[in-house]
């Protein structure tokens, strides 16, 4: 499901109270911005019943270039992790 399909689903859901695609897209953008802002502050974003978004710090490590076979140094990096909640796991 992409963003446009998600917006369409929100509009079709009678319980959402969002009457138009423009309003649904604006609401979705607001939620995504809030999640992004929380992650930038190194906070875990916890959505009860859905899951947790968190920043994961990856250590520097050695790797191998698959083309040449030579060892390379991979820099430390940050990535976003997601851990699904119990309700989400049960619904899938």
HEC profile for the chain? CCHHHHHHHHHHCHHHCCCCHHHHHHHHHHHHHHHHHHHHCCCCEEECCCEEEEEEEECCEEEECCCCCCEEEECCEEEEEEEECHHHHHHC
Distances (CA, A) of 71 to 12, 35, 63, 78: 53, 37, 6, 22
Q: Is 5 a residue whose pLDDT tops 90?
A: yes
Task: Provide the percentage of residues in the chain whose pLDDT is more than 70.
Answer: 100
Global pTM? 0.75
């Amino acid at each position: 499901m992409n963003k446009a399909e998600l917006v369409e689903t929100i509009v079709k859901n009678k319980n959402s109270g969002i009457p138009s695609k423009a309003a649904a897209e604006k609401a979705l953008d607001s939620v995504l911005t809030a999640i992004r802002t929380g992650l930038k502050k190194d906070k875990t974003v916890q959505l009860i019943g859905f899951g947790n978004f968190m920043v994961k710090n990856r250590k520097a490590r050695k790797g191998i270039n698959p083309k040449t076979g030579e060892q390379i140094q991979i820099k430390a990096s940050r990535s976003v992790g997601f851990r699904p909640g119990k309700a989400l796991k049960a619904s899938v």
